[in-house]
């Protein structure tokens, strides 16, 4: 079995939770991922996500069911904000980010800024 890139299972778990209509047990998350992962691997990722404040859990029987705290776009925006906060030169980071945008994404950003949206 080939090694997955770092964070891949975490992203898969979050994607499953974002698509769920209700809180899910680790076994349900594992089943929906469909990669044949060990139950303990998925449970460990869920526990780590809970420690990071990215998922909430509620007691169900002897275990927990999990839901996300942020939707996908909120989480991405938070991560971008964390990168900017940790940088010593926010202007350079923003300039490189904007410079790397596709023409389409740059147009969307320009339109949003012109309209005064966040």
Residues 13-63 pLDDT 10s: 999 999 999 999 999 999 999 878 999 999 999 999 999 999 999 999 999
The Cα–Cα gap between 91 and 95 comes to 6
**Same-domain pairing of 55 and 15:** yes
CATH number for the domain including 32? 1.10.10.10
Domain span at residue 36 reads 8-68
CA pair distance 40, 26, nearest whole angstrom:
9
The least confident of 34-38, 85-89, 101-105 is 34-38
Does residue 2 sit within a domain?
A: no
Asked whether residue 54 is assigned to any structural domain, the reply reads yes
Say if residues 59 and 94 touch (Cβ distance below 8 Å). Answer: no
Single pTM value for the model: 0.80
Per the structure, how many domains does the chain have?
A: 2
Q: Are residues 17 and 48 in the same domain?
A: yes
Asked if residues 29 and 49 have their Cβ atoms less than 8 Å apart, the reply is no
Is 79 in the same domain as 37? no
Please state, in angstroms and as integers, the Cα–Cα distance from residue 95 to each residue in 11, 12, 56, 92, following that order. 27, 31, 35, 5
Is 58 in a helix, a strand, or coil?
A: strand
Does 3 map to a domain?
no
Q: Are 85 and 104 in a shared domain? A: yes
């Amino acid at each position: 079995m080939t090694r997955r890139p770092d964070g891949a299972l975490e992203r898969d778990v979050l994607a499953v939770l974002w698509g769920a209509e209700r809180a899910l047990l680790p076994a349900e998350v594992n089943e929906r991922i469909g990669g044949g992962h060990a139950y303990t691997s998925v449970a460990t990722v869920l526990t780590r996500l809970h420690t990071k404040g990215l998922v909430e859990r509620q007691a169900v029987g002897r275990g927990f069911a999990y839901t996300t705290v942020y939707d996908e776009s909120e989480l991405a925006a938070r991560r971008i904000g964390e990168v900017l906060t940790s940088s010593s030169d926010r202007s350079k980071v923003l300039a490189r980010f904007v410079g790397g945008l596709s023409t389409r994404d740059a147009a969307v950003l320009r339109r949003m800024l012109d309209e005064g949206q966040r």
